[in-house]
Structure 1
Amino acid sequence: MGIARSCFCACSTLALIAGGGSAALAQDSEAQASASTSAQGTEGPVIIVTAQKRVERLIDVPIAITALSNEALDDYKIEGGSELLRAVPNVNFSKSNFSMYNFSIRGIGTKAISAASDPAVAVSFNNIPLIRNRLFESEFFDMERIEVLRGPQGTLYGRNATSGVVNMIPAMPEFTEVSGEVRAEAGSYATRRLGGHLNVPLSDTLAVRAAGMMTKRNGYDFNTYTNKRVNGRDLWSTRLSLAWEPSENFRASFIWQHFEEDDNRSRTGKQLCTRDPGPTQIGDTTVPFDYTRAKLSQGCLAASLYDDAAYGAPNLLGSSQFFAAAINLVGYKPDTREPVNGLSLLSPPYRGITQSRNLREIETAYDPVFRANNDIFQLNFEFTMGDVGLYSQTTFAKDSYYSSQDYNRFVSVPIFPDSAGLVNALGIPLPNDGLTPGGIYTDPQLGPSDRWVAVDISQSENEQWFQELRLTSDMDGPLNFNLGANYLNFDTQDDYYVMSNVFSYIAELLYNRRGNDIIDCSQPETVPGECVYVDPNPIDQIDGEGHNYFRSKNVVEIESWGVFGELYWDVTEDLKVTLGGRYTKDTKTTTPIPTQLLLGAEDYGQSTGTTSGGYISRGFREFPDTVLKSDAFTGRFVVDWRPVTSFTDDTMFYASASRGYKAGGTNPPRIDVDPEVIQYEPLPADFEPEYVTAFEIGTKNVFAGGRFSLNATAFLNLYKDYQVSQIVDRISLNENFDATTWGAELEAAWAPTERFRVDATLGFLQTRIGDGEQSIDVMNRTQGNEDWVLVRPSPAVPSNCIAPRDKVEAILNSPFTAPPDGSLSNMALGSLCAGSKRYGSWDPEREGLPLYAMFGFTYDPLTDAPNGGRGFFADLSGNELPNAPHLTFNIGAQYTLPIDGGDWQLTLRGDYYRQSESYARVYNTEIDRLKAWDNVNAALTLTRPQDDFSLQLYVKNVFNDAPITDFFLNSDDTGLTANVFTLDPRIIGLRATVGF
């Protein structure tokens, strides 16, 4: 098939989609449909899809669909799931901070981050949903087509399709002849790609197909600190498929696909921050010292990410971890007996640091490590009995993932004191020259450094089983049906670690020092007093039980089953009604495992009298499983009309009403502490299911003998309890908001001649969060109320709080604010936060009298402050949903020039994509604003059709733009920095393809 024709076939916006029937059946039906169309005199190809889990012409399916063949993906230069937005209206894509991503359709995506959450866009492989998949990391290869269904698909696709479906249909074995293809590519950043497939008929009824691809390239980003390129790729995929058709009534197929990656891919881009120096004035009181201002600073301001000031570093002088180390003594100078503290409150860790404004240039002390491994096994059966077909699809998927990278994304100044030669209070030299000889601390996981180093690890191991049975009719009468049932079982363990040498330093300096010695907490029977276990193993061999690092361990099992059916009634030759329904029942079982950072226990197991509030000093307590059950009835009602007109070759109008559902889930548990030591406002233990009621009208049209197609759609979606999360108390807190989305979409393709073709998509979108919805914005906890002040908490508490201005002024006006006693006032300020019930107690009996009591007032943040001191609610009424640009637009054009009498063809293609501005969070503040951005791609392809040979020179991102496509806000104790995500840079490549 020639370049022009194949691209027209793939990109024609007759595109609607589906998923379900066997590939062999789809191919047979396509040949029959094409022959029928030609007999009617309509030019151009016919696109066959299975969006309604039955084989149909795309134009006959009353759903908004875009279908892209393997050739179309090449033409658009769409290499993976993140680039589908350039071909589909009202689609957006962004990476999230951990092992997930957000693929959104019509403003709705996966903004909930939890091991127990589900995607809002169902990602399917050959019509089978995959809860965890490598859509972001892997690259498309040897595909039959990619189908993107827009709008809720709650009847046939079920629980995780409240905004749509992405269905990846692989090419299946053919029985005609031995055939294959090999392609090799070289390009910018030392890119090397090799791929292809081989199709071998073993008999008239048995065929096998093998396909594979590999990509290697250097990093897109440069680390100026390690002087290395990072964010590179070293990945490969293989697929083996077998098809068997022993008779006309029985077909079977088997697919095994494997993906593997091992490189230095970065999960996130640069980390931006407009530094918050802290206030110089609180009411009538001057804030006199930098360390006190830092205590009243949140680290980063809620300012635009596009200002020059955003390329600063957070103010971590007031960090609770930094403060905890700074107020503890390392030792004394032997000659003067001058005390030496663990860190200096006069030395901010990021003083004077600014970043390069090049978003592809980072400066971190640790280069990323990325590994992923994914296998999919699928067995399909199809048995036809006259006009009724029985389909069975069985799928097992296994996925493992590991990613580590610099957590703070900045290189600090040297922070540790030189402990060599210091003595204790009795004048005895510290053993082994103390913890930081030469100003260098050796962390068991991160190694030696004189600077603040932090690394996070995101990893998961999961398995999924899925079984679906369907009974589908294809009768000549007016009624047909599609009935089915499916079962899903999904098990996962997701772990998220944050390792910091300051954490380990605090554990050894504050908790594990007995006199002159650092004790070993791994032997509980020999440990007197409170102790925090420090994992002694290197980062790639950790035992996972350390309290010197943060670990969020999430163990979840999901069981789901559903029964569904659709009835198709041809009321007349031109009028058809579709009525569908589905019942889904979900059970999510979560094992609550609270975090244990820097928590220990008296006598290694006794909670009485601990200063940290912990119950154990090593490992994690597991609590009884939480079982969350939900069920829902969903369905759709569609009327479509196919009038015969004098000005179109084929026309359909349709109107639909549908219902979608996505299960709720559990929020991760917070820290496991004794409420007599640390007590704060509870957070919701779970979040609600998400529902949508959707209305859609549309039309699909073919003109001029197939040379012009035009599709138009308008929609209204009413969402109840849309799921969105943010980091609160070091966990992903998922919240629910009602919202409305509405808009319109246009898709058009025009081929005025055999040589020239133009295609375009346009998406218009409006979103609105419901009246009365509210949430606490961690970037603006006071909401402008001047009677309240933001305060950083005590070291045991993970989140900032707000405190009454008069109480803050009372502490600031005390004589304890000035050096050398300034740390006492800082401790008192921290004790104004809930969670600090005993922290800083000055009562000799340790009955919990808080430190602020010595300043002459009483105060209980849990009852006297809004929301337990967490802050005031922000009113979200009328705000826009995140990642929902008002306009998305793409136009592409190509011209083919015959050469040497038509033996050769030269095709020039260009594509332009643009999306308007949007917001990254529900609060719609200045920091949330994402500017509009565009993208230009071009390709020059030389082909010799009779030899099945092509040579392509392409340029992706022609103008080398680096727009911020989204960002993720980090936790309070990192200073509320923003991890940003950008487009890939300009890539110039040359590819040769040979078929046989």
Structure 2
Amino acid sequence: MTHSKRRWSPSLAAIVLAGFATQAAAQESGAPAETESPGTTDIIVTAQKRSESVNSVPLSITAVSGGDLQAQGVTDVAGLAKVTPGFNAIDSGFGTPVYFLRGIGFFDSSLAAKPTVTVYTDEVPIPYSVMTAGASFDLERVEVLKGPQGTLFGSNATGGAINYIAAKPTWSPEAGLALSYGRFNRFSAEGYASGPLSETLAARISLRHEGGGDWQKSYTRNASLGQRAFTQGRLQLAWRPVDTVRVNLMINANQDHGDTQAPQLVTPFQQSAGFFDPRLVAYPTAPASNRAADWGDSFALKKDNWQVQAALRGEVDLSDDITLTSISAYSRFKEAYGQESDGTALRLTDVFLEGDIRAFSQELRLAGSLMGDGSWIVGGNYEWGKTHELLTQRLDDQSSAHVFDRFGFPSIELVPQLGDTRYRSIAAFADVSVPIVDTLTLIGGIRYTDTKVDFAGCTLNAGNGTYARGFELIFGLPSGTIPLGGCVTFNDAGQPALFEGSLPEDNISWRGVLQWKPSGGQLFYASVSRGYKSGSFATLAGNRFSQYTPVRQEQVTAYEIGFKSALLDRRVQLNGALFYYDYLDKQLKGRTIVPVFGPLEALVNVPKSRIKGAELQLVVTPVDGLRANFGATYIDSKVTRSFTNYSAFGAVTDFDGYRFPYTPKWQLNADLEYRWAIGGAKQAFLGANYSYRSSTYGDFRPDARLFIDDYGLLDLRAGIGDADGKWTASLYAQNVTDEYYWHTAARRGDAVIRFAGMPATYGVNMSFKFR
């Protein structure tokens, strides 16, 4: 399919200019957020579970303050792609987002899919990516840690970790209110109130609601889709009975009643005559527009999702330099919604998803100082999770008539897919930083992790029972052998049964870093680390037990050298890194041969692959009031050993030498802002943000049908406000060139679809703070 698109591709000069970036951040309440200097700001972060300057951490980090996130229109995890070179987020098509850092990601739409980039709030894990919708809320900052973080953050952080730091209760009264209104009647209202309840107890309550109308338009009829209705709240209590004891309770909750996004139909794909609906051949494909889409009426495309998380953090200073920390958390998440799967108004592969997650985590650690500037941490943690997932697929009569008409009974109506998972992890870890001489420090860490995943799943007989009846005939079973609600998944003996499996694993993550600080503001480091992502089962339309064979844990060994350099009286901060990732057993949703159906989805391991790349970061404040952030990441990914499986279209392929899907070679970011006084205590500002992604594919094997074109997005902002931040009024415009772009391309049954990004949006923001 051909299309035209408005394009804002960077020139060579722009690529060179945008080849560097870092972002600003604040730190937790109770400690200075930043160190003032004539130029750039020195930021305090807790990336290594201790407070230190971001430019003193021998690790590639992007840190952004909550205020900067708001100014740049970053309201969810996916929006971090605007400010974080090397980060990418895509829609799996079934509600579960997939996050990538430096090319490491795990594309699986299952509710229980463990990520390779784990998200945290105040070091509390959000264990499943589907639970991250409310993470970007009432923040002090976010820290994006790149590369394996297995020693301090545990398994399932082979690509990195994203740690959101919530704004904390204050010991003096204050409150704030932020309002926004824009295109498609999108609006948001957010507020907080914070202050002491007694001499030893402080509280903070935060609320946010986002609403709005439809932004997608059907290109075959008069219909629209895309309403937003998301509400969230947070209550925090900070208790300080004595100077040496700190206790924080955080309760987060959110609910989502918005619409699900419909994909765009790219082209039909006929693998066989079995289940192909001939109406697809004549169905019009989507025009080249972000808003164009189509959808059916099998299920209501509206979410009924909610989530609650309670976290308790306690810190006790056992001595002047030893602190005991305990972090406990319990989470509950439920979802129910319809999802258009094929991008047409036909009833082909539309689905309804129901899910339930319960998760608990507990970390206990001791930390202290060592030999002056050195430090140490020892601890352990426990994680437990239970997920229930039921994905019901509704098929149209014509989509299965070719197979079942010859048996003399109706076509398939409903095909539910069941998946129940239990996850358990026990770990012990230690980390130490030892000064060798004044300018040289050796850092080492190790973690032992023991995991176990138990899974039960199958495809169920439902609706008119036709799906089961067909397989009874195929296997020569008496009619009615498979009752309604029974499994239509067959074991090796050809008998219908519930698949049950268990995957126990263990591993040792580690890291070693050599850090050299020859002078103030200069840091050089070399590191090697190893991390693991736990093995996994997938919830899918399993016809044979072989489709449920789990993938074993994947291993990433990362080598990195880098520098962080403050120049020209700290008006320039230049950081850079070269990295090489040795990847073993990369997890992938591939395919296996199933009788009657041919190649069907199953999880597989890619034996050996690698990623190599470079990253540059730059912050410049050439004159007072002007701040420029630039950044770029280059990624070269490749499968480096023979691995034969099936492409998305069923072609047998040896993937040796192929690049990773959803992994653009170039990712560029730039943000500029200028502030100046306009009289009295008021100031004005102008700002722009630009992000660029080069092209990639939605499969290992390049295919034009799964091509994801390169794109660049330009956002603008302008406003005025009080110099002390008491009030601000601003205008914003996102994707001002109305660039047509898409971030996901996939095959769904006999349709090839893509998920487009948002069109141009614009509006007004207002905020107020009261102290």
Distance 1:995 1:727, change over 3 A: farther
Q: Which residue of 2 aligns with 1:228?
A: 223
CA contact (8 A) 1:15 1:59 kept: no
1:733 counterpart (602, 605, 628): 602
1:483 counterpart (375, 378, 382): 378
Give, as a single letter, the amino acid of the residue that structure 2 aligns with 1:353.
Answer: Y
CA distance in 2, matches of 1:236, 1:108: 31
**Corresponding position: 1:391 with 2:325:** yes
CA distance in 1, matches of 2:302, 2:626: 46
2:526 counterpart (655, 677, 697): 655
CA contact (8 A) 1:94 1:101 kept: yes
Distance 1:361 1:183, change over 3 A: same
CA contact (8 A) 1:558 1:588 kept: yes
Distance 1:192 1:483, change over 3 A: same
CA distance in 2, matches of 1:947, 1:923: 51
CA distance in 2, matches of 1:565, 1:404: 45
Distance 1:949 1:932, change over 3 A: same
Aligned pairs for 1:590-739 (under 5 A) are: 590-596=455-461, 598=465, 609-610=476-477, 615-621=481-487, 623=498, 625-644=500-519, 649-668=520-539, 671=542, 682-683=546-547, 685-726=549-590, 732-737=601-606, 738-739=608-609
Deviation at 1:732, TM superposition (A): 4.0
SS of the counterpart of 1:890?
Answer: strand
SS of the counterpart of 1:189?
Answer: helix
Distance 1:958 1:505, change over 3 A: closer
Deviation at 1:551, TM superposition (A): 0.9
How many matched pairs? 730
Greater helix content: 1
Deviation at 1:160, TM superposition (A): 0.5
Deviation at 1:611, TM superposition (A): 7.9
Q: Which residue of 2 aligns with 1:958?
A: 736
Deviation at 1:961, TM superposition (A): 1.3
- Summarize deviations over 1:637-685 as a string: whole Å, max 9, x none: 00101111xxxx5011011000010111234576568xxxxxxx95571
Give, as a single letter, the amino acid of the residue that structure 2 aligns with 1:779.
Answer: F
CA distance in 2, matches of 1:472, 1:565: 10
Give, as a single letter, the amino acid of the residue that structure 1 aligns with 2:503.
Answer: L
Distance 1:732 1:779, change over 3 A: closer
- Summarize deviations over 1:293-348 as a string: whole Å, max 9, x none: xxxx427xxxxxxxxxxxxxxxxxx34376xxxxxxxxxxxxxxxxxxxxxxxxx4
Q: Which residue of 1 aligns with 2:628?
A: 758
CA distance in 1, matches of 2:442, 2:253: 41
Q: Which residue of 1 aligns with 2:8?
A: none
2:264 counterpart (266, 270, 291): 270
CA distance in 2, matches of 1:603, 1:642: 70
Distance 1:602 1:257, change over 3 A: closer
Q: Which residue of 2 aligns with 1:349?
A: 279
CA contact (8 A) 1:113 1:732 kept: no
- Summarize deviations over 1:56-88 as a string: whole Å, max 9, x none: 121121111011111110232212111111211
Give, as a single letter, the amino acid of the residue that structure 1 aligns with 2:317.
Answer: T
CA distance in 2, matches of 1:963, 1:190: 22
Give, as a single letter, the amino acid of the residue that structure 2 aligns with 1:650.
Answer: G
1:404 counterpart (294, 315, 338): 338
CA distance in 1, matches of 2:451, 2:112: 12
Aligned pairs for 1:801-840 (under 5 A) are: none
SS of the counterpart of 1:369?
Answer: coil
CA contact (8 A) 1:595 1:671 kept: no
**Corresponding position: 1:242 with 2:237:** yes
Give, as a single letter, the amino acid of the residue that structure 2 aligns with 1:107.
Answer: G
Distance 1:968 1:321, change over 3 A: closer
Deviation at 1:960, TM superposition (A): 1.1
Give, as a single letter, the amino acid of the residue that structure 1 aligns with 2:175.
Answer: G
Q: Which residue of 1 aligns with 2:658?
A: 879
- Summarize deviations over 1:664-712 as a string: whole Å, max 9, x none: 1234576568xxxxxxx95571212100111001111112333211110
Distance 1:139 1:272, change over 3 A: farther
Deviation at 1:90, TM superposition (A): 1.4
**Corresponding position: 1:320 with 2:275:** yes
SS of the counterpart of 1:30?
Answer: coil
2:646 counterpart (776, 783, 806): 776
CA contact (8 A) 2:647 2:700 kept: no
Q: Give the stretch that moved more between structures: 382-391 or 751-760.
A: 751-760
Q: Which runs of 5 or more residues in structure 1 are unaligned? A: 1-11, 277-296, 300-317, 323-347, 413-451, 514-530, 535-546, 674-680, 782-872
Greater strand content: 2
CA contact (8 A) 2:263 2:342 kept: no
Q: Which residue of 2 aligns with 1:378?
A: 311
Deviation at 1:765, TM superposition (A): 1.0
CA contact (8 A) 2:374 2:432 kept: yes
Give, as a single letter, the amino acid of the residue that structure 2 aligns with 1:733.
Answer: A
Distance 1:356 1:600, change over 3 A: closer
1:28 counterpart (30, 46, 59): 30
Deviation at 1:979, TM superposition (A): 2.4
CA contact (8 A) 2:706 2:746 kept: no
CA contact (8 A) 2:81 2:87 kept: yes
**Corresponding position: 1:173 with 2:169:** yes
CA distance in 1, matches of 2:619, 2:95: 37
CA contact (8 A) 2:714 2:734 kept: yes
Higher RCO, Cα 8 Å, sep 6+: 2
Give, as a single letter, the amino acid of the residue that structure 2 aligns with 1:27.
Answer: S
Give, as a single letter, the amino acid of the residue that structure 2 aligns with 1:923.
Answer: R
Q: Normalization by structure 1: what TM-score?
A: 0.69
Deviation at 1:369, TM superposition (A): 1.8
Deviation at 1:981, TM superposition (A): 1.6
Distance 1:776 1:943, change over 3 A: same
Q: Which residue of 2 aligns with 1:463?
A: 358
CA contact (8 A) 1:270 1:359 kept: no
2:296 counterpart (340, 361, 365): 365
Deviation at 1:932, TM superposition (A): 1.0
CA distance in 2, matches of 1:114, 1:606: 30
CA distance in 2, matches of 1:392, 1:139: 21
Deviation at 1:191, TM superposition (A): 1.3
CA distance in 2, matches of 1:478, 1:406: 56
1:96 counterpart (92, 95, 107): 92
* CA radius of gyration, larger in: 1
CA contact (8 A) 1:602 1:608 kept: no
Deviation at 1:607, TM superposition (A): 10
Deviation at 1:508, TM superposition (A): 14
SS of the counterpart of 1:962?
Answer: coil
1:986 counterpart (737, 760, 768): 760
Aligned pairs for 1:782-797 (under 5 A) are: none
Aligned pairs for 1:545-564 (under 5 A) are: 548-564=413-429
SS of the counterpart of 1:27?
Answer: coil
Give, as a single letter, the amino acid of the residue that structure 1 aligns with 2:507.
Answer: A
Q: Normalization by structure 2: what TM-score?
A: 0.88
1:895 counterpart (668, 674, 687): 674
**Corresponding position: 1:945 with 2:723:** yes
Q: Which residue of 1 aligns with 2:494?
A: none
CA distance in 1, matches of 2:642, 2:404: 48
Q: Which residue of 2 aligns with 1:255?
A: 250
Deviation at 1:229, TM superposition (A): 2.1
- Summarize deviations over 1:560-588 as a string: whole Å, max 9, x none: 01100011101112111111100001100
Q: State, as a whole percentage, how many aligned pairs show the same letter.
A: 23
Q: Which residue of 1 aligns with 2:113?
A: 117
RMSD of Structure 2 on Structure 1 (CA): 3.0
Aligned pairs for 1:401-440 (under 5 A) are: 401-411=335-345
Distance 1:454 1:165, change over 3 A: closer
CA distance in 1, matches of 2:139, 2:148: 24
Deviation at 1:903, TM superposition (A): 2.1
Deviation at 1:228, TM superposition (A): 2.9
Q: Which residue of 2 aligns with 1:995?
A: 769
Give, as a single letter, the amino acid of the residue that structure 1 aligns with 2:427.
Answer: G
SS of the counterpart of 2:662?
Answer: coil
CA contact (8 A) 1:17 1:65 kept: no
CA distance in 2, matches of 1:571, 1:927: 56
2:433 counterpart (555, 564, 568): 568
Give, as a single letter, the amino acid of the residue that structure 1 aligns with 2:294.
Answer: E
